[in-house]
Structure 1
């Protein structure tokens, strides 16, 4: 029997409201009240059309993001980039404040910062910080109801960007302060940002070193000192993540996926996938679709 054509479902979390922005609070009972289709959308694997943030007030959420599993507990925040595929299973007592915003409504400086912290791990907040963000979200949710206000969209945009800024500040606080970054840290950050943009075209460490105007040994020294892994490791991991997404969500052949990721040498790509994941591409596809 031929495989059904698959593509990654995109839940229009923000655009369904017509503004590209949404701020809301909901519980599991709220989701169930909207019907089975809404619950299916929430728990099936999907992407969002926006940058999405979830502040968990109570209950627990088991979430898989790009094939990595996390357990989110109360007083935690998670940011999910539009490229990331995920699905979640929540407890009955779950209460979440959530906001989502599309690229065109997001402050450009915040967008740069979000790109630098992707992928983001769930972040546990102090009681004081959680209450501050939760109270701000509650106030902004009330303001979203003022749809007759001529400045409603701009008010909504400013409110959502303020929440985004609060979340970014927590991720930056958890990271090494900018004034404490070493030369190795700075170069590694530049490499990872470049990798995210160029991984389908550039596969050799020398190509990244040339763009960064440094030698290959020095780039490797910086990256390995900062992350514990070589430049080649990071390149391979980023390519294979995208391959996993395509294997799971598309009906493209492994050869077509290899070509889409910049590999004309299909046998080489197949060997690389097996080396990185411990299984063949077809085995991965069959295992995850089973």
Structure 2
């Protein structure tokens, strides 16, 4: 019961999920879709039918009819309201079950992208068939079910990209918007921090400019003109978001978190965190 209460996902045993790396299940009509606020250690991919509104990373997304829904665990998400009962299927899997870099690079799971792919009747029937087959494999005793489910996940992802490619094709008005996009993408690829002994590699605008082979002044101007925020502001916001996640969802000592985020001394991290959040790391962790 504890796992279910903490995740909001019926029948999910997190220990079992970590061992196997995946879970496939049907969504009972009397239960809300498995979208609950908070950071988790697994990705979610669902086929849902209903009428609902979801808050995904601060964006309100409406789902009407049948749609595919993809959840990045680093994006806060919650069901806002539901007009009627929802039904469908969900597949939950850890980053280690699939290639972690492939997941981070996929437009469907990329931060800032729309994770909803609306389906017409024909597409919905096809996707429903795939999820039913995947569930059948999951419930069966086939020796290589993990490999087969990986193939189903990959097929669903590629079909989703084929159905709705326009939202995933990057277009740039000029060089500034292109370099700004590359910076944002590179920034997100630095996270999440998974090991305290592998500290954050890129910490400053100069670091990112070097990596992107541009002058730091050009990078700063491009990011500011495209997003309205400075390069440093983007970096600081992402570091603080990761710091909060590690403080809330890991048992690392504050000193370990400080080193993992690239701070030479824990005191530097404490001052940085307090300046940007108004509280110390220890105080934030206890709240």
TM-score, length-scaled by structure 1: 0.67
Residues 111-139 of structure 1 show CA distances to partners (whole Å, capped at 9, x for unaligned) of 4642685225555555xx35444322211
Aligned length: 266
2:210 maps to which residue?
210
Alignment of structure 1 residues 124-273 onto 2, 5 Å: 125-126=117-118, 129-144=119-134, 145=136, 147=140, 156-169=149-162, 172-175=165-168, 177-178=169-170, 180=172, 182-198=174-190, 200-273=200-273
2:121 & 2:211 partners in 1: Cα distance? Answer: 44
Partner-residue secondary structure (3-state), 2:30: helix
| Conserved? CA contact 1:25–1:98, under 8 Å | yes
Question: 1:242: Cα distance to partner?
Answer: 0.8
TM-score, normalising length: structure 2: 0.68
Structure 1 partner of 2:196: none
Alignment pair present for 1:94 and 2:86: yes
Q: Give the direction of change, closer, same or farther, for the CA distance of 1:116–1:222 in structure 2 (3 Å limit).
A: farther
CA RMSD of aligned residues (A): 4.3
User: What is the distance in 2 between the residues matched to 1:17 and 1:258?
Assistant: 27
Matches within 5 A, 1:33-72: 45=38, 47-49=40-42, 51-60=43-52
Alignment CA distance shift 1:97-1:173 (3 Å): farther
Partner of 2:69: 78
Cα deviation 1:81-116 (Å, max 9, x = unaligned)? 355566668758232432345557758996464268
The one of the two structures with greater contact order (alpha-carbon pairs below 8 A, sep at least 6) is 1
Aligned to 1:4: none
In 2: Cα distance, 1:275 partner to 1:132 partner = 53
SS of the residue corresponding to residue 29 of structure 1 reads: coil
Unaligned runs of 5+ in 2: 1-5, 192-199
